[in-house]
Homo-oligomer: A and B are copies of this chain.
Amino acid sequence: MISQKILSITCPSRGCHDITSKITNFVSEQSIDIGLCHIFIHHTSASLIISENADPKVLVDLETFMTSIAPDGAPQWIHDDEGPDDMPAHIRSVITQNNLSIPITNGKLALGIWQAVYLWEHRTHQHQRQITITLHV
């Protein structure tokens, strides 16, 4: 048994957007006791991560980190057609995740107590992002 849902998410600017409830809602609509929940993002300049869900300062520091290793507008990037954040967005995407799989246990998404699922928008301006959730047993 497998069920799939496509979601469109508006990201107003660069940063981590908590999408956990969108995923747990879809899981709770199905009657799966044990299984897996797969999430995929159909883009190369935004990504999916699981990170700490309590302190917003973690999300600030994640941006600081990415800026330190892949700065916007650095002279070494030769791919810059869409601006100074173009190539850094691809790099951030490649070293994080475009797909996640999370266990379903006792009918629920089995995230740890401090875990949230974030859609990390890496472009500085607003983008519409599409993800596909696939549940399977």
Contacts and interface: CB of A to CB of B under 8 A. Distances in A.
Interface of A: 2-4, 6, 34-36, 38, 40-45, 49-52, 55, 57-58, 60-62, 64-65, 68-70, 76-79, 81, 87, 90-91, 93-103, 105, 110-115, 130, 132, 134, 136-137
21 contacts: A2-B35, A2-B36, A35-B134, A35-B136, A42-B111, A42-B113, A43-B115, A44-B115, A45-B52, A50-B98, A58-B87, A58-B90, A60-B78, A61-B78, A61-B79, A61-B87, A61-B91, A62-B91, A99-B102, A110-B132, A112-B130
B103 A38 contact: yes
Contacts of A60: 78-79
B51 A90 contact: yes
